[in-house]
Structure 1
Amino acid sequence: MAAPWRIPLHRVAFTDASGGVTLPRQPDEVVTAWAAAPGLLPVRQEKVRGSSVTLRLAAGAARRIEVRDAQGKPAAGVLVTLADSFWVAGRTAEGGRLDLPVPAAGLDLRLTAEDGRRLHYRLRAAKPEETGPAIPAVIALKPAVPTGGKVVEEKTGRPVPGALVWPDQDLGAGTRAGRDGTFRLAHVEPEVGLLATAPGYFIGQGGAGGRVVTFKLLPRLAAGGIVVDEAGQPVAGARLKASPKAGTRFQRNAAVWSSGGFARSTASGRFKLASLAAGVIYDLRAEREGFAPSRVELPARQAGAPAPDLRVVLHLGRTAFGLVIDGRRRPVAGAEVSLRPTLPADPAARFREARNPERIPATTGTSGRFEMKNLPAGTFDLTVRARGFAPITVPALAIPGGKGVTDLGTVQLAPGGSIHGAVVDPQGEPVADAEVQTKGADRDGLAFREGQAGGDTASAVTAADGSFTLEDLAPGVALDVIVTHPGYGPGAAPGVAVPSEAPIRVVLQPVSSVSGHVLGPDGKPVAGASVALNESPRKLGGAFFQAPSRRLHEGVTDDEGAFVFADVAPGPFQMSASAPGHQRAELRGLEVKPGQDLSGIAIQLPAGATVEGRVTSMEGRPLANAQVVVADETVSGMPAFSRFHGEADDDGQYRIEGISPGPHTLAATAEGYRRALRDVEAAAEPRKVDFQLDRGLEISGRVVDDGGNPVPDAQVYLSGTGKRWQDTSTEADGAFRLSGLEDGDYSLEAGRVGYSSVPPAKKVKLAGAPVSGVELKLTPSEGTITGRLTGLEFSQLARVRVWVSSAASLGAVDAEGSYRISHIAPGLWKVQATVPDTPLHAEGEVTLEPGASEARLDLNFGGGHTLTGVVLRNGEPLAGAALILAGPSQAQRASADLQGAFRFEGLADGSYELNAGTGTGAWHKEAVEITGDQTVRVELHTASLSGRVVDATDSSPVSGARIFVKSPDGADRFPFSSDATTDARGVFHLAEVEEGSWTVQAAKEGYAAGERKIEVGDSPPGDVEIRLDPTEGV
């Protein structure tokens, strides 16, 4: 199993006269070691596992920096840290000066002034003529922008004197609110949020960018009680944990999520919980050695109401025992046994509970027997792991309540499978200390939706000869093997069968350097621009496998507009850049070739414009949190998807930067108010656009069941006029309210897990007045589909997934192979079942008749037909190819193994469409007629494509043009984004385009779209030039 995640622990020490140092570490801990000394370049070594490490510090060319404020005066006391490690390089002295060693590649610094101003700065190495202290690098801080506001209590609005207010992640820059609750901070960076708290209150959050912030703090409530045993005697030392009840909606404050807290009972059995929020129901769990864990519900209460005196009774639980044996019925000693509650069928609850790490552990003795005491009543999954054996889980074991003993039975372990292999570099040399992990492919996403890792997981570290062995895996599954190592890009072997017939070989490619410049619209360098490089997620069968920590690289340009990223994995990537006064620009379709650095990238930033203003009600009251978007930049008319938006602070002020100069339409919205539109001619100088919003109309009503009883926590969905939509949840009495609406025709529907809506959707017309008394009906879905699963091995029963199409619940499977899917409404249902990481699939249809409580459908694995085949790309096996087999009423997913082979099972007669993808955008489609077992050969032919986009009037390069590849029917390969963008030279590159006829289209604001038709065949297409005609002035 993978090691559990731990909070990073930083340890610091100083070397002795011999350069030695000793730091504490856990026996199995993997650390990153850093070393730094005055006048020397810092060095680090990642993934240190041994008991010793040698770090060699090298000298760097000294360069002096001189930090000045916005008025040009020297800034002393500025803290200078290294951006990638937060090592403190020093503080500027009088005169704002500090000498630093700088490597040839430059140094990323973070500067923090005493008033909170921050700056990310890239210091390049000095040129020959810049050496010596006489020619410092001058760094100018931005002007301070003060932020003020008030801290009040949420319900009463009373000021909270003495409250602490601080910028996120910088307690040292905090301040105290005055007697009237007001505060002021000398400076807060626009992207940094604010936090506030006071004794007896939860932490409140303030959005980033606001200059006037009002914190409405929630008071912490307390509740106490006593823990007793069955005889009523106090129980000391009981551990209590209060958690917000599953399904509770927290619309007021995110701090409620972390409310509840812990307590321990005293010698008298008394306890106190001091971190409860008003209006929230809590689950209170109590446990103590010698007793079964107990759960009680802590009812919601409002502030000011008397605190309840709770009584928690701990009972003696049940004892469960069992036996673990091997295939020859010999006892297995030292096996690790654990019980965990069976996951619920509701997807949301299942996702949440899957992340609960609590297990009830036991270990088998020499007789193979295990025992667990003081168990609560419930349904549990029993998992057994032992060295040399495949892990096994026995699902849905029932443990009754009360005292007594329960026999969990005998668990027979089968020998575990293994995967052997080696990790090498491109020259075939072994790579030692590489991390090797397995993960289930989870092509259908079921494990993700359940909050679980797909399939079995194991890990290993390569030896000095690059070899590794992954042991104790479940035979019969196919796993992805993923390899990482500092200094190399990630590597993988997809779909490796357990056990592996032959050793696998994974080749790691060294990381590369990517460098270039950011230019302004005039072609001049832009210093201090923010640059981001995002490595495209590596895919196996359409599933991402690249570690998130290696995907995103961020930096800034130096005073010559240059940037460099030193540790980029070979493969496709995209870049973006932004700077004040400019529009954001991005480049797509870039690629680092293995073994090569990439230089000369040029990102050109067009001139930008800014709009700002204030949003108020018709009475002049500022509307905090109002949203203002550039409406002509939205996607499908939905403001949430606008590329440019601003949020009003507590004074109603908003600001939107980086839009293109010229005419735009702004839209302002606020909860309970009608949307307002304003036109503006944006320019480099900020344009002021104020909004006064009018109270909108309202639709209100209730959601009830067939008997007229209220349905709480149901979702109500509204759609209608202007393609706008809203949703809300019902209160405890079933009431709902949708506000801020305009005149028009609307449709309302309600939904909740365990219920089905009563069609048709409710139609409501608004014409100058609110509408109330709307009643929406939900019918409880009380039906059940049951059946038996056949054709599976016992070890697969805990992993099989059974579900019905269009239903929100998964089925529960017990140890006998019976399944049950609850909350089903009458109708015709398709039931599907799969075993993740195997080709096993079964399906069938069943009808739940009106008035019937149950329908039965048995599913047989191993029935139906099989489709096997191999995927080739340009004649070579395509490992990890994504495959989708779409039939008349269902689709299955699979991925190709190392040899490009794939397999689908359980297919009925009929016509299917087989789709095969490369993971980089190329797809192949073909029709397959299934009348029996069949084998196919899928051949993809692809080629790279490069080109240039120029202005048709003077042949000058057009940067930032978006490139789309369209099929003959006009459909995009990537419907939600462009395939590539042009750089400052107008050049674009597509790593892979599949064989066929295509239209390459280029689009950019200010030009009419241009296109070229191409043919991708046996020979690669030549460079494509697309000429765009300007539209400005036409």
Structure 2
Amino acid sequence: MKMKSYQIILTFALLSFYGPAVANESQRLNITGRIVDSMARPVERAEVAVYEQFDDYSTGQYYAKLLDKIKKTDSNGNFVLNADINLWYRVFIVARKEGFALGWDVMASSFGEMSENKYIILEKPCSLAGIVVDEKGKPAAGAKIRALPKTDYSEQLEQRPILALEQWLTTQTDDKGHFQFDNFAADVSSDFWVEAPDWSSVYKYTTHWLKAYGFKTGMTDIRLVLPEEIPVQGRIIDAETGQPVSGAHVVIKPDDIRKHKNPYCPHRTASESDGEFYFKGIPPGKNSIKVSVADETTGLVDKRIKVDIQADKGSKDIIVELDKGGLIEIIAREEGTNKPASDIPIYFWQAEQDEKSDFYKDAITNKDGKLQIWAPPGECAFRASYDRNFFQTYEDQILVIKGQTAKSELIFDSTPSVSGLVLDQTNQPVSGVLVMANPVGEQGITDKGGRFEVRYSPSEPLERLIARDLTCNLAAIVEVKNNAKPVQITLKPALSIAGRITDPNDIGIPAARLELTLNVPGWLTYLGSEILTDFMGQYEIKALPLLQEGFGYRISVNSSGYGNKGYERISITGKPGTTTEIKPLVLQPADQSISGSVIDAEDKPVAGAVIFMRGKNQPIRRTVTDSNGGFIIKRVCKGPIRIQANSDNSSEGDGFIKAEGGDQNVKIILGQDRIHTKHISLTGKQLPDFQDFNIDLSPADANEKMLVVCFWDMNQRPSRNCILELSKRAQELKAKDIVIIAVQASKVEINALDKWVSENNIVFPFGMIQGNMEQTRLAWGIISLPWLILTDSRNHVRAEGFSLTELDDKIDGVN
């Protein structure tokens, strides 16, 4: 096993993951890097750990395995780690030091490439706090709270909560049930796992089941409620003989994590000699129990059953009958090499699905690429995932006959590679050169003899190789016509660029992240890893090959507390061997917020709707609406924003709105695509006239009288209800010299409106907006319907946008 050495540069952020180990062919790596803070200064004596994430196929969860001892950075912030890794993109590096936010990153390319010179920035720490209580509100003291943080600064990390090190991510509630984390950066959100005394389950808490969402840093009023628990017990028997099945693996977990009210970590146990199993405490809700038999000689098939646990029905007794089936034997190998494809996860299920389907199984091939499982008679479907460098899937069906063996062979495309030699202009081999396969491939580094070998995607033909010597500022692009032969690359003097990243006041932004991209026809290819600006906001990128016509360079920039620049085209006009100065790239400060609510077509608030926000030069932000449908998104920039909202419980489709950073009272309606109009308040102003509403109201009728004006929509139930309630009070209000006026504020057939008014005996004046609906609603300050306005006797607006239940209080306020 060869030792390879790679360098990364890290700055503090967050990291952690969960899952059981897979015995892939490992590779020994020397991982070096550097920890810096948000001013691009090195951080001395920071603790650094490296771990790999693995899948636990029996429970569907992940776990983390520490790959080396925890190391500390030197006076320059440097560290060295040694690790045997299996899959590079599941390897994380985590760093911490007192007084800073936790930092982390994931390996960004293969062959142990940690994206050379990749930085993770040590941010200032923020708080995330709350309380843990039971269903009666009693604080849960001494509860263990484990955070699973994730950051949205990088698309590679935003849906990947970090799992390790557990002791770095765990705290405990005090005697009042309070907990607090003070080691997360501002762009971080987190899920929580809670293990409390007197509770048997470990409970999961988040704002939404989608992995990118969670409790945002800065929240200090989080309330985590522990549910009631109910014992679950049962017995496993052989359906054919009626005899108990001992030693069966039994796993219970939520049936659908998206809908379960009390998500928890799966429980695992084994049946006793009498076939019985027992779980001490499971929360109410719909759960699934998966039973599998380790003894393959029994011929018993796995079974998954659904169990609805209800609090008012006490403990649950379950009988699980296992049937005998047929044997499936899978052999997986690589095409061409015929090498066994080991550790390939394969998922099996009954091809014909109905409410009685109960067979679902995950398994992996052994070191010889073989797998054997028992399955129920009939057509069995399966899907295999070949997760080696470039993802491949294989899906098929196989006929299973009871007592017989059905065989299938899976042949995966072997990962092609190209090798060669890198020379300088004197034909001398060059070591330490970064070589990239394009358009879709890996990165490698030449050895002492200038030799390299890099792999590329079997689904995309290799077109060219890109070589960069960062030390000597040399580079080359070579078109590859025949990858079967070694490719010789001769380096030439390269281009360099330099520039600054600033705020709008021309002040340099330190530790801003930059990525350079090569734009070739149909593809964008990252040229190495991120770099950071220095403490003055300056940067320099060397070893850029001279490009042919049709190719180009683009640059992307982001920095905590600022907006982004994405794939900005840059023009390099200098000659090879010279440095081209790029005009400063200006990032807008993310010092604004935007807030509002999500409603459905009937103007009802939508709780738990997911919000996704993006815009040109804006950071990407996400949140979830509260119980009243409200939301607030912080740390956004001034300028255009597009917000999308979606709800799992609505069939109306997504809602969209265009707004600006800093806008408030933004109203997103599911199923509609709208533009936010800023609210123009009429309070304290003279009420506009009604001449465009076609209302039969003489000046004398409104003279010296208070007015209640209701803008409504006949097609909305809340609007209709509001008009009907006002109609019931019409005579009462008339006696107080209060006139009611209703204005239809959306397009309807006038005959339909007249008919509805007549059928419901509405006696107060009616009208409808005759001109541009949107412009009129804007001029009257209408945010949503129904919209109530109250004037005094001189027709000055005294209240607007209130609910019907507030009408009496508003009238008393005028009087």
**1:485-536 deviation line (CA, Å, top 9, x unaligned):** 9xxxx9999755446767667899999997532245x583441153658799
Tell me the secondary structure at the aligned position of residue 247 of structure 2: coil
Is residue 2:270 matched to residue 1:362?
A: yes
Matches within 5 A, 1:117-136: none
* Distance in structure 2 (CA, Å) of the matches to 1:229 and 1:699: 34
1:326 alignment partner in structure 2: 239
Change (3 A) 1:167 1:613: farther
Contact 1:644 1:659 in 2 (8 A): no
Q: 1:377 to 1:618 in 2, by over 3 A?
A: closer
**Partner in structure 2 of residue 705 of structure 1:** 599
Structure 1 pair 381–600 and aligned structure 2 pair: CA distance change class (3 A): same
CA separation of 1:553/1:469 partners in 2, compared to 1, >3 Å: closer, same or farther? same
Q: Is the 8 A contact 1:660 1:682 kept in 2?
A: no
Question: Are the counterparts in 1 of residues 654 and 670 from structure 2 also a CA contact under 8 Å?
Answer: no
Q: CA deviation at 1:315?
A: 6.2
Higher share in helix: 2
> Which of residues 102, 112, 124 in structure 2 aligns to 1:203?
102
**Partner deviation per Cα, 1:287-339 (whole Å, 9 max, x = no partner):** 5688566778999899898x99x999896632432442323544434333221
Cα deviation digits, residues 579-626 of structure 1 (max 9, x gap): 32334546667666xxxxxx5332455642110121223433112465
Q: Superposed, which structure 2 residues align to 1:525-540 within 5 Å?
A: 525-530=428-433
Shift of 1:672: 4.5
Cα drift, residue 563 of structure 1: 3.9
For residue 215 of structure 1, what is the aligned residue in structure 2? 122
Question: Matches of 1:713 and 1:653 in 2, distance apart?
Answer: 41
Distance 2:283 2:512 in 1: 49
Matching residue's letter, 1:562? R
**How far does residue 691 in structure 1 lie from its aligned partner after superposition?**
0.9
1:517 matched to which residue of 2?
Answer: 421
Cα offsets for 1:391-431 (capped at 9, x unmatched)? 44344310122683323244242324232779999999xx9
**Deviations along 1:330-361, whole A, 9 cap, x unmatched?**
44343332211112347xx99x98xx863242
| 1:471 alignment partner in structure 2 | 373
Distance across 2 between alignment mates of 1:555 and 1:324:
58
Alignment-mate amino acid for residue 198 of structure 1: K
What is the letter of the counterpart of residue 324 of structure 1? I
* Change beyond 3 A, Cα 1:602–1:478: farther
User: Cα gap change, 1:443/1:602 in structure 2, threshold over 3 Å: closer, same or farther?
Assistant: farther
Alignment of 1:81-92 (within 5 A): 85=28
Give yes or no for contact 2:161–2:190 (8 Å, CA) kept in 1: no
Report if aligned partners of 1:418, 1:470 keep a CA contact under 8 Å in 2.
yes
- In structure 1, the partner of 2:539 is 654
Name the counterpart of 1:613.
Answer: 499
For 1:502 and 1:555, the matched residues in 2 are separated by: 45
CA distance in 1, matches of 2:203, 2:406: 51
Q: Deviations over 1:734-781 (max 9, x none)?
A: 2457966779xx8765445445678996567x9xxx884573323499
The change in CA–CA distance for 1:755 and 1:293 in structure 2 (over 3 A counts) is same
Q: 1:277 to 1:588 in 2, by over 3 A?
A: same
The structure, 1 or 2, with the larger RCO (C-alpha pairs under 8 Å, 6+ apart) is 2
Letter aligned with residue 45 of structure 2? L
2:144 is matched with 240
1:644 shift after superposition: 9.8
Kindly provide the CA deviation profile for residues 27-67 of structure 1, in whole angstroms up to 9, marking residues without a partner as x. x99989xxxxxxxxxxxxx79xxxxxxxxxxxxxxxxxxxx
Partner residue, 2:631: 734
After superposition, the C-alpha distances for 1:867-909 in whole angstroms (9 at most, x for unaligned) are xxxxxxxxxxxxxxxxxxxxxxxxxxxxxxxxxxxxxxxxxxx
CA distance in 2, matches of 1:297, 1:759: 22
Map 1:547-696 → 2, pairs under 5 A:
554-559=444-449, 561-563=450-452, 574=462, 576-580=465-469, 581-583=473-475, 585=477, 600-605=486-491, 607-624=493-510, 633=519, 648-661=533-546, 671-672=562-563, 679-683=571-575, 684-691=577-584, 693=586
**Cα RMSD after superposing both structures:** 6.8
**Equivalents in 2 of 1:653, 1:517: separation in Å?**
34
Residue 164 of structure 1 pairs with residue 51 of structure 2: no
Q: Deviations over 1:770-812 (max 9, x none)?
A: 884573323499xxxxxxxxxxxxxxxxxxxxxxxxxxxxxxx
Counterpart contact for 2:39–2:511, Cα < 8 Å: no
Distance apart, 1:701 and its partner CA: 5.5
Contact 1:210 1:653 in 2 (8 A): no
Q: 1:395 to 1:533 in 2, by over 3 A?
A: farther
Q: Which residue of 1 aligns with 2:4?
A: none
- State how far apart, in whole Å, the 1-side matches of 2:589 and 2:386 are: 56
Change (3 A) 1:454 1:658: farther
Is this contact kept in 2: 1:517–1:557, CA < 8 A? no
Q: Aligned residue pairs: how many?
A: 573
Give distance in 2, aligned partners of 1:738 and 1:175.
Answer: 34
Structure 2 spans left out of the alignment, 5+ residues:
1-19, 51-68, 82-90, 106-113, 208-213, 354-358, 673-714, 718-815
Deviations 1:69-107 (A, max 9, x none): xxxxxxxxxxxxxxx646xxxxxxxxxxxxxxxxxxxxx
Secondary structure of 1:217's aligned partner: coil
Of 286, 307, 317, the match for 1:407: 317
Between the aligned partners of 1:360 and 1:29, the Cα distance in structure 2 is 17
Q: Normalized against structure 1, the TM-score is what?
A: 0.42
1:778 corresponds, among 644, 647, 669, to 669
The question of 1:715 aligning with 2:715 is answered no
8 Å Cα contact 1:530-1:556 kept in structure 2: yes
* CA distance in structure 2 between the aligned counterparts of 1:373 and 1:741, rounded to whole angstroms: 54
Alpha-carbon offset, residue 363 of structure 1: 0.6
For the 8 Å contact 2:610–2:647, the answer to whether it is kept is yes
Identity %: 12
Structure 2 match to 1:977: none
Q: Aligned equivalents of 2:438 and 2:517: distance in 1?
A: 30
Map Cα deviations across residues 888-936 of structure 1 (whole Å, 9 max, x no partner): xxxxxxxxxxxxxxxxxxxxxxxxxxxxxxxxxxxxxxxxxxxxxxxxx
Output the amino acid matched with 1:376.
P
Q: Distance in 1 between matches of 2:495 and 2:350?
A: 44
